[in-house]
Amino acid sequence: MTARETITTEQFDEMFDNGEDVSAHVDWSKARRPNQEPRRVNVDFPVWMVRDLDKEAGRLGVTRQSLIKMWIAEKLG
């Protein structure tokens, strides 16, 4: 890949608004998704609930953590 050509914000916005490919002007290594940074929380579940979560996660072919996150996202979204 060659060095990026420097463009102004206005040029970038115009290219984007025109549906042009602006990916060559983006440093993807520094890209961030706002409000998507992970934050660890601890939740205690009774043994029966963990067992049922694991059973459902196995049925769906996902991890327990993924299942919990999917269910919470559905409820909050």
Residue with tokens 């440093």: 27
pLDDT higher than threshold 80 for residue 5: no
∠ CA 27-29-33, rounded to 5°: 95
- Coil, strand or helix: which one is 48? helix
pTM of the shown model: 0.57
pLDDT single digits (tens) 7-63: 999 999 999 999 999 988 988 888 888 888 888 999 999 999 999 999 999 999 999
∠ CA 18-21-24, rounded to 5°: 135
